[in-house]
């Protein structure tokens, strides 16, 4: 609380004292309120009925809560569980959670983006699960169903802070109809960046078609990093953060920018689209309308954008016209860990609020939400890559694309560093891609990027070159 | 000749405060104590919900406070580091320059100019035309920002925008080719209503006979404005410019249209602060920039006061 | 000779008069087009079964409204907005009127400097950087998840400009009525209610509408302070009509935009027909 100016504290001392006594937390190894007969718990997620991620909200309200209450009743506990929906920009949702946690308030179970975990932990907002809820955490049988790499989403410095909801992977989507017109194969799988560019050159001959859409610039925000710059970076054998240092103007970073220069300088992409505030929406619509040849995206694109049933840019002939290929490394073997193909992943994590009044029951609720049964109910018939292997095995069989992601992409994938300055470094990288896409030289963009990153992470000592 | 009929008459102005602007001290017999009582509710609210957070923000400006990460747990006082960093930051200076363009273009020239022109064209007029014009101008002022932002995106869109359809210029990316001009015109549209209302009231202050005399004496419209109208509405011009410059300087709405882009070419200071404080999480730095903005607002206010003078001060 | 010039002059003046009239009409029509044009989309898209960013004659449907009614929060959010905006407007108008009256009638040293200072501070508090202090303040005062908290914070932010505007109105009203009322033994509040308020009523109405419009569009304060959509105003719910990838659902968004805009538009029509909506007679110096 050292941010508080003394005079303000003084003026409000009485009220503060009052609130602090109410929210003072217990501590100790035995979770408080373990044997309580009346409990109240709240869940919050960036989901809302009738709006953003409505299915997620419905699952919590209609499935999780009634069944959890029922299960508690069977144990003789009266549980009152409520859901606090949100449904805004992730940045704003994150801000609100941080403010809540900072004032020791907020919901007991919170759904967060995996990359927030580290910065929340560093800020003292989250505590390791076993510290909050005791031994039952490590004893939970669900852990064995969650692959180590996916558990990493909710792990920071080797401690578990939450249970991951699922994950995703990046691929290259392509339009088979356009490929046929350009004389390209229907089962395309590029093995190097050059092969992507070659395909782009062929597609350029088809009138009215933008050959390649690989997100660039700041208008697309994190989508530029996740669907473009970072998969390319790992494909060039680099990582944005490794061994305590952030990537500066390294060779892999230059390679990435060089690829952008070739796409947008070589007329293979639409540089203006990258600058438009609604550019990503537009790229979706253009792909759905058959005007884009190759587009780099996550499996979200397949599930929620061009889904013929309820996508936001429906493609009635998705299953027959849209192909997908692994994201290649710069050349075979040039990717991180010597890989031929690469991907980036992210995913949501459900964490526990360390200020929960009923930490033990909060974990019961959390683990209940991640039981196989609950996870299956959450999908409600749709396919998505969940964190549980047993569930994936069952549900992904019916969806070849997601099965492809789970089987072929996830073993190759990489994650972003969950640190507080990452968003700023990410923006610096996006700016570098913007500079190159609008015609500036790779050298210029790379050195501007390096300078920027040095400023963000506290000097050249924390930046690799 | 024109001057003979309509000089900016200092004696008239000098005489006005006695009857109008600042009434003789306590003509209503309010009494200081009662006046203080009338002030208490608003001053209490302002003190608690405006001054306290403002002072607190100024304090945050000398810390390295962040919302998350290590600096959230242990913020440190870093003195004037944030300020030296801001002043040395090319992005901040570019943003400041853009903001000044935005204020000059959309508030001083756009809103005040267009608002005055509309008020002048409508002066002395009653009936449906006036009501319709005023209605639309005011509508654009009171609609929620998130809605009007969407309307302008739809209007200026590159592929399917209404403007391109009307002008027959398909594919013109207004928001990319002329981003600053676009948000200046947007903000003119958005805020002209306030100036229009204020000047409409001001123009009722200008005796019709004076304008009539000037016209009969052969004064052009411009001469009438300069010699008859302006001297009488000087105070309104000041109030108007002060308020709309302040509001425009701190207006965040352009973000909803351009997100500061393309390539930061519309990244005015409120947008910059948003990106620094909310997206980047650097609340300390963001608070410092906010305070710099406050100081710049102060300078702008002083410049206006100096240029246009506030007669009440003389009274 | 002189008669000729005079006739000549008169003719020229007449021509110029006609030209000025024509010019005035042309100008007003252009103004009308400029201000109406962006609003077209709001008139067509909500009724289109597949709205796009383009303004086009809709393939008429009311399905979008039906879809919106299925949203459990859409309508209540409008009611919430009414509470927040109404509460704030009442407080702002009442408190600003009292303060402006006092400042206008009694000479307080440093009065103008105080007003300018507060006006400048109010600009800082509307920015993003203040959100932590505002949140912490509300938290300490136990105003989290309280509509009252939102109303108070917004009122604090709007008051300086409201006082600034209203004081100019008050300055413009002659004090002679008040003096004679005082002679007849009216109390100060009676004077305020029966003499001052009627005179400055258009000004109060204008400031009230201005306050409502400000609160109606404010996202950040209610978003940070209120918990859950049951209390959330329309400005917050508007942002939930996007997909998880941040893409706009144009059917819901356009329809909700229309519903969200209607109350303020109706309020404006009501207020302007009932009380007059301009700085009529106000801000005279």
End-to-end CA gap in chain A: 38
What are the residue ranges of helices labelled H in B157-178?
A: 162-167, 174-177
Q: Mind listing the pLDDT tens digit for each residue in C20-40?
A: 889 889 999 999 999 999 998
Total number of residues shown for chain C: 285
Which phi and psi angles does C284 have, rounded to 5°? -105, 145
Continuous segment of H or E residues that includes residue B235: helix B230-249
CA angle A56, A61, A67 (to 5 degrees): 115
Spatial separation of the C-alpha atoms in residues B228 and B222, rounded to whole Å: 10
Q: How large is the C-alpha radius of gyration of chain A?
A: 24
Residue C265 predicted with pLDDT over 70: yes
Q: Averaged over C53-75, what is the pLDDT?
A: 80
Please count the residue pairs, one from chain A and one from chain C, whose beta carbons lie less than 8 angstroms apart.
Answer: 93
Predicted local distance difference test score (pLDDT) of residue C271? 83
Asked whether residue C6 carries a pLDDT value surpassing 60, the answer given is yes
DSSP C14: H
What is the pLDDT, as a whole number, of residue A151? Answer: 92
Q: What is the pLDDT along chain B (315 residues), one digit of tens a residue?
A: 333 333 333 333 333 333 334 444 565 667 778 888 889 999 999 999 999 999 999 999 999 999 888 888 888 999 899 999 999 888 999 999 999 999 999 999 999 999 999 999 988 787 888 888 988 998 899 899 989 998 998 899 887 788 988 888 888 889 999 999 999 999 999 999 999 988 888 887 788 888 888 878 878 888 888 888 888 888 888 889 988 999 999 999 999 899 887 888 999 999 999 998 888 888 999 999 999 999 999 999 889 888 876 544 443
Tell me the pLDDT tens digit for each residue of A177-191: 999 999 999 999 999
> Which residues 73-132 of C are in CB contact (within 8 Å) with B?
91, 94-96, 98-99, 101-108, 112, 116, 118-132
Q: What is the pLDDT of residue B26?
A: 62
Could you tell me how far CA B42 lies from the centroid of its own chain? 23
Residue among B91, B58, B55 at smallest CA distance from B286: B58
Cis amide bond preceding B262, omega within 30: yes
- pLDDT tens-digit profile of C149-188? 999 999 999 999 999 888 887 887 777 878 888 888 888 7
pLDDT for position B116: 94
User: Rounded mean pLDDT of C92-107?
Assistant: 91
DSSP labels, A71-134: HHHHTT-EEEEEEEE--S-HHHHHHHHHHHHHTT-S-SEEEEETTHHHHHHHTT----HHHHHT
Is residue B234 within 8 Å of B254, Cβ to Cβ? no
Q: Considering only CA atoms, which of A92, A153, A118 is closest in space to residue A347?
A: A153
The answer to whether A115 faces chain B, any CB pair under 8 Å, is: no
Q: How far is CA C26 from CA A375, C22, C236, in A?
A: 65, 6, 41
Q: How far apart are CA C10 and CA B202, in angstroms?
A: 30
Distance, CA of A200 to CA of A437 (rounded, Å): 16
Residue B157 is predicted with a pLDDT of 86
- Asked if B146 has any chain A CB less than 8 Å from its own CB, the reply is no
Residue A123 has its nearest CB partner, among B73, B259, B264, at B73
Q: Are A165 and A286 in contact (CB under 8 A)?
A: no
For residue A186, what are the CA distances in angstroms to A114, A205, A318, B100? 36, 17, 14, 54
The residue-averaged pLDDT of A218-244 equals 94
Q: Which token pair is A214?
A: 């690989």
| pLDDT category of residue A228 using cuts at 50, 70 and 90 | very high
Which of A313, A267, A307 shows the shortest CA–CA distance to A290?
A: A313
Q: What is the largest CA-CA distance in chain C?
A: 87
Of A315, A328, A326, nearest in space to A177 by CA: A315
CATH superfamily of A11-167+346-415: Periplasmic binding protein-like II (3.40.190.10)
Is the Cα torsion angle B90, B94, B95, B96 positive or negative in sign? positive
pLDDT band at A274 (very low <50, low <70, confident <90, very high): very high
Lowest mean pLDDT, pick from A301-305, A338-342, B44-48, C250-254: C250-254
pTM over 0.90: no
Average pLDDT over residues C200-224: 89
* DSSP structure class, residue B89: -
Q: For chain C, what is the radius of gyration of the CA atoms?
A: 25
The pLDDT of residue A22 is 41
Structural contact between residues A346 and A415, judged by C-beta atoms closer than 8 angstroms? yes
| pLDDT (0 to 100) of residue C205 | 87
Name which of C74, C136, C146, C149 to mutate to probe chain A: the one with the most chain A Cβ atoms within 10 A of its Cβ: C136
Taking CA atoms, what residue in C is nearest to A97?
C224
Start-to-end CA distance of chain B, whole Å, equals: 31
Q: Are B232 and B205 in contact (CB under 8 A)?
A: yes
Sign of the CA dihedral with A314 first, then A315, A319, and A323 last: negative
Q: Measure CA B298 to chain center.
A: 13
Provide the pLDDT for residue B127. 81
H/E element, A348: strand A348-352
Check residue B179 and give its pLDDT: 94
Q: Which residues have CB under 8 Å from B34's CB, separation 6+?
A: C102, C188
What is the dihedral sign for C-alpha A330, A331, A332, A337? negative
Give the position of tokens 């309509």.
B6
The Cα of C229 is separated from the nearest Cα of chain A by a number of Å equal to: 7
Q: pLDDT value at position A30?
A: 56
CATH fold match for the domains A11-167+346-415 and A170-344+421-464: yes
A12 pLDDT above the threshold of 70: no
Token pair belonging to B19: 């009857």
Residues of B in contact with A99 (CB under 8 A): 67
Amino acid B198: pLDDT:
86
The dihedral sign for the CA sequence B202, B206, B211, B212: positive
Indicate the range of C36-40, C198-202, C272-276 predicted with least confidence.
Answer: C272-276
Binned at pLDDT 50, 70 and 90, residue A140 comes out as very high
For A89, nearest residue in chain B (alpha carbons): B279
Name the residue with higher pLDDT: B119 or A310: B119
Report whether A146 contacts A387 (CB < 8 A): yes
Distances (CA, A) of A137 to A69, A75, A321: 20, 19, 46
Output the pLDDT for position B219.
81
Predicted local distance difference test score (pLDDT) of residue A66: 96
Return the H-helix or E-strand segment holding A43.
strand A38-45
Residue A208 has pLDDT above 60, yes or no: yes
Q: Which residues contact C43 (CB under 8 A, 6 or more apart)?
A: none
Asked whether the predicted pLDDT for residue A375 surpasses 90, the reply is yes
The arithmetic mean of pLDDT across residues A16-39, rounded, is 57
pLDDT at B13: 33
User: How many angstroms separate the CA atoms of A363 and A355, rounded?
Assistant: 13
Residue A276 and residue A373 in contact, taking contact as beta carbons nearer than 8 Å: no
Nearest one of A307, A334, B39, B309 to C111, comparing CA atoms: B39
- Tell the CATH topology of A170-344+421-464: D-Maltodextrin-Binding Protein; domain 2 (3.40.190)
Q: CB of B129 within 8 Å of any CB in chain C?
A: yes
pLDDT tens digits for B111-153?
999 999 999 998 878 788 888 898 899 889 989 998 999 899 8
* B79 burial via Cβ count (<10 Å: 0-12, 13-18, 19+): exposed
Average pLDDT, chain A: 89
Residue-wise pLDDT tens digits, B174-211: 999 999 999 999 999 999 999 998 888 888 778 888 88
Task: Write the ipTM.
Answer: 0.87
Q: Residue A167 — pLDDT band, cuts 50, 70, 90? A: very high
> Choosing among B35, B283, B284, B306, which should be mutated to test the C contact, i.e. which has the most C CBs within 10 A?
B35
Whether residue B28 and residue C182 make contact (CB cut-off 8 A), yes or no, is yes
Buried b / exposed e over B171-185, threshold 16 CB at 10 Å, is ebbbbbeebbebbbb
Angstrom distance (rounded) from CA A415 to CA C255: 39
Are C122 and C249 in contact, with CB atoms under 8 Å apart?
no
The DSSP string of A236-248 is TT--SEETTEEE-
Given phi > 0 = left and psi -120 to 50 = alpha, else beta, which region is C147?
A: alpha
B142·C264 Cβ contact <8 A: yes
Residue B20 has a pLDDT of 38
Q: Which residues of C touch A92 (CB under 8 A)?
A: 223, 239
- Give domain limits for chain A: 11-167+346-415, 170-344+421-464
Instruction: Give the residue from chain A lying closest to B56, CA to CA.
Output: A5
For residues A65 and A81, give the distance between their C-alpha atoms in angstroms, rounded to a whole number.
Answer: 6
Nearby residues of B154 by Cβ (< 8 Å), 6 or more positions away: B161, B162, C38, C41, C45, C53, C54, C55
User: Quick one: residue A221, left, alpha or beta (phi over 0 = left, psi -120 to 50 = alpha)?
Assistant: left
- Helices A422-437, A251-260: crossing angle, 10 deg rounding: 50
Going by C-beta distance under 8 Å and a sequence separation of 6 or more, which residues neighbour residue B293?
B249, B250, B269, B270, B273, C123, C124, C127
CA B47 to chain centroid, in Å, comes to 24
Provide the H-helix boundaries in C226-274: 234-238, 250-274
Question: Per-residue confidence at A386, pLDDT binned at 50, 70, 90?
Answer: very high
The reply to whether A88 touches chain C by the CB within 8 Å rule is yes
What are A275's two structure tokens? 């600058």
* pLDDT surpasses 70 at A20: no
C265 CA to chain B: closest CA distance, Å?
7
Mean pLDDT for A195-216 is 96
DSSP secondary structure code for residue C37 in this structure: G
Q: Residue C246 has what pLDDT?
A: 62
Interface test with C, best of A19, A21, A47, A52 (most C CBs within 10 A): A52
Q: Tell me whether residues C155 and B45 touch, CB distance under 8 A.
A: yes
Tell me what pLDDT residue A28 has: 41
User: CB of B170 within 8 Å of any CB in chain A?
Assistant: no
Those chains having 3 or more beta-carbon pairs within 8 angstroms of chain A are B, C
Cα dihedral A343→A344→A350→A352 (10° resolution): 130
């Amino acid at each position: 609380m050292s941010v508080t100016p003394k005079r303000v504290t003084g003026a409000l001392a009485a009220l503060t004292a009052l609130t602090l006594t109410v929210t003072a937390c217990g501590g100790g190894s035995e979770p408080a309120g373990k044997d309580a007969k009346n409990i109240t718990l709240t869940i919050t997620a960036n989901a809302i009925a009738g709006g953003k991620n409505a299915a997620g909200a419905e699952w919590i309200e209609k499935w999780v809560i009634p069944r959890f209450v029922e299960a508690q009743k069977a144990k003789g506990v009266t549980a009152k569980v409520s859901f606090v929906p949100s449904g805004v920009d992730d940045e704003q949702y994150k801000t609100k959670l941080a403010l809540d946690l900072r004032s020791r308030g907020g919901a007991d179970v919170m759904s967060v983006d995996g990359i927030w975990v580290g910065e929340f932990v560093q800020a003292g907002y989250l505590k390791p699960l076993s510290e909050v809820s005791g031994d039952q955490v490590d004893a939970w049988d669900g852990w064995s169903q969650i692959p180590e790499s996916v558990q990493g989403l909710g792990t920071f410095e080797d401690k578990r802070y939450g249970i991951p909801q699922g994950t995703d992977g990046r691929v290259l989507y392509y339009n088979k109809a356009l490929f046929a017109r350009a004389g390209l194969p229907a089962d395309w799988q590029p093995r190097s960046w050059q092969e992507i560019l070659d395909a782009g050159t062929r597609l350029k001959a088809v009138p009215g078609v933008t050959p390649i859409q690989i997100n660039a610039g700041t208008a697309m925000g994190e989508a530029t990093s996740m669907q473009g710059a970072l998969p390319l970076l790992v494909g060039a054998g680099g990582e944005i953060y490794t061994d305590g240092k952030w990537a500066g103007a390294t060779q892999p970073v230059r390679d990435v920018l060089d690829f952008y220069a070739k796409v947008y300088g070589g007329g293979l992409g639409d540089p203006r689209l990258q600058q438009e505030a609604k550019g990503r929406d537009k790229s979706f619509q253009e792909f759905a309308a058959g005007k884009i040849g190759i587009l780099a995206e996550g499996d979200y694109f397949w599930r929620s954008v061009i889904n013929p049933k309820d996508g936001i840019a429906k493609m009635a002939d998705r299953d027959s016209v849209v192909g997908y290929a692994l994201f290649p490394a710069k050349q075979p073997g040039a990717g991180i860990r010597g890989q031929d193909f690469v991907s980036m992943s992210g995913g949501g994590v459900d964490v526990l609020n360390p200020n929960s009044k009923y930490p033990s029951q909060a974990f019961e609720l959390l683990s209940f939400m991640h039981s196989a049964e609950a996870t299956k109910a959450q999908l409600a018939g749709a396919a998505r890559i969940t964190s549980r292997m047993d569930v994936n095995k069952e549900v992904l069989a019916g969806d070849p694309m997601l099965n492809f992601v789970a089987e072929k992409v996830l073993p190759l994938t990489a994650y972003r560093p969950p640190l507080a300055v990452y968003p700023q470094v990410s923006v610096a990288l996006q700016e570098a891609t913007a500079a190159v896409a609008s015609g500036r030289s790779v050298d210029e963009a790379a050195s501007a990027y390096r300078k920027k990153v040095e400023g963000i992470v506290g000097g050249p000592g924390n930046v690799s070159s | 000749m024109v001057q003979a009929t309509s000089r900016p008459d200092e004696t008239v102005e000098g005489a006005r405060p006695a009857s109008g602007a600042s009434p003789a001290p306590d003509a209503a017999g309010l009494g200081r104590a009662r006046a203080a009582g009338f002030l208490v509710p608003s001053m209490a609210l302002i003190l608690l919900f405006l001054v306290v957070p403002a002072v607190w923000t100024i304090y945050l400006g000398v810390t390295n406070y962040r919302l998350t990460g290590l600096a959230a747990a242990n913020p440190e006082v870093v003195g004037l580091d944030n300020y030296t960093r801001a002043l040395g930051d090319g992005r901040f200076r570019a943003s400041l320059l853009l903001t000044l363009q935005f204020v000059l273009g959309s508030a001083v020239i756009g809103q005040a100019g267009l608002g005055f022109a509309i008020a002048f064209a409508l002066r002395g007029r009653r009936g449906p035309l006036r009501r319709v014009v005023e209605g639309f101008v005011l509508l654009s002022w009171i609609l929620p920002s998130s809605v009007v932002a969407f309307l302008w995106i739809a209007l200026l869109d590159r592929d399917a925008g209404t403007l391109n359809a009307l002008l027959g210029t398909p594919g013109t990316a207004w928001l990319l080719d002329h981003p600053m001009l676009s948000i200046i015109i947007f903000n003119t549209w958005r805020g002209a209503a306030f100036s229009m209302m204020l000047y409409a009231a001001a123009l009722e202050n200008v005796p019709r006979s004076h304008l009539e005399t000037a016209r009969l004496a052969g004064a052009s419209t411009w001469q009438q404005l300069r010699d008859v109208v302006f001297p009488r509405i000087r105070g309104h011009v000041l109030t108007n410019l002060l308020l709309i410059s302040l509001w425009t300087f701190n207006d965040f709405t352009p973000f909803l249209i351009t997100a500061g882009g393309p390539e930061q070419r519309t990244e005015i200071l409120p947008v910059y602060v948003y990106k620094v404080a909310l997206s980047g999480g650097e609340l300390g730095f963001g608070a410092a920039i906010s305070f710099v903005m406050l100081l710049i607002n102060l300078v702008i206010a002083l410049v206006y006061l100096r240029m246009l003078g506030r007669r009440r001060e003389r009274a | 000779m002189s008669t000729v010039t005079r006739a000549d002059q008169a003719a020229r003046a007449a021509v110029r008069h006609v030209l000025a009239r024509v010019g005035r009409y042309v100008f007003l029509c252009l103004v009308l087009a400029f201000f109406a044009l962006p609003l077209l989309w709001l008139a067509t898209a909500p009724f289109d079964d597949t709205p796009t960013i383009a303004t086009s004659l809709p393939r008429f449907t009311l399905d979008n409204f039906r879809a919106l009614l299925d949203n459990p929060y859409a309508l209540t959010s409008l009611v919430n907005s009414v509470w927040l905006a109404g509460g704030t407007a009442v407080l702002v108008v009442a408190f600003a009127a009292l303060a402006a009256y006092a400042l206008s009638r009694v000479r307080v040293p440093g009065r103008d400097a105080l007003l300018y200072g507060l006006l400048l501070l109010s600009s800082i508090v509307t920015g993003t950087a203040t959100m932590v202090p505002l949140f912490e303040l509300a938290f300490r005062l136990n105003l989290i998840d309280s509509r009252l908290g939102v109303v108070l914070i917004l009122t604090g932010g709007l008051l300086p400009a409201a006082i600034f505007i209203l004081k100019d109105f008050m300055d413009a009203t002659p004090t002679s009525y008040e003096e004679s009322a005082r002679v007849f033994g009216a109390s100060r509040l009676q004077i305020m209610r029966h003499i001052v308020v009627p005179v400055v009523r258009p000004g109060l109405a204008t400031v009230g509408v201005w306050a409502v419009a400000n609160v109606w569009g404010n996202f950040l304060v209610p978003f940070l302070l209120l918990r859950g959509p049951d209390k959330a105003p329309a400005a917050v719910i508007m942002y939930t009509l996007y997909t998880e990838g941040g893409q706009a659902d144009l059917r819901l968004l356009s329809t909700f935009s229309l519903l969200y805009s209607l109350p303020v538009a109706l309020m404006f029509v009501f207020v302007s027909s009932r009380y007059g909506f301009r700085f009529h007679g106000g801000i005279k110096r």
